[in-house]
Structure 1
Amino acid sequence: MSSSKSQVCYADAARLYCIIFLVLIVLLGSFTNNEYLIKKMNPEVGNACDEIYVVEEGETLHTISDKCGDPFILEENPHIHDPDDVFPGLVIKITPSGVRN
């Protein structure tokens, strides 16, 4: 009989610790920077780029936009007349979406 009582006691303690752990996770999640977490989980998305970016071999405006987090590259670079005519060495201005007003 006492073995049964100790098993119930351990189960109650384990349940309590799990509840406390889950509450802590929820609280910590509400205080963290979500953009930081997204970058940590997927380092290819939204990496910070310098304001002046030099196109590398094989890059497109779409891949640069994804890499740098700037969906308006074409609008900010009036010297690019054809979005398909992007070549290595082309210099473009980058403004990450989080910096916009």
Structure 2
Amino acid sequence: MASRQHRGLGSSSSWVAAAADTASWCLALSLVALLLVCSLGPGAGAGAGAGSVVRGAALSARPCEEIYVVAEGETLHSISDKCGDPYILEQNPHVHDPDDVFPGLVIKITPSKPR
């Protein structure tokens, strides 16, 4: 009779151990998820992500580098004037239409007069 009680305790203690193990894994995963969300920083849910939106005076203060990312409100003409590179279309064969320029487009420029 004692062996039945011992066997019953053994199975309930293994069930408790399994539940505790599952709970600890859930807690660990929750903590990792919380750390990841906190590491994104403020405004990450609003689409800030890795880059920031440049507008107004900050747009004209951006440096002209060889690899240039088009910002909102910029045109090839404004970038050409700002950076002093009249040959932007010739250096960027992937830009088929000078009017089809959008924010995030990566272009190559040869800056001659940084602003």
With structure 1 as the length reference, what TM-score do the two structures score? Answer: 0.48
With structure 2 as the length reference, what TM-score do the two structures score? Answer: 0.42
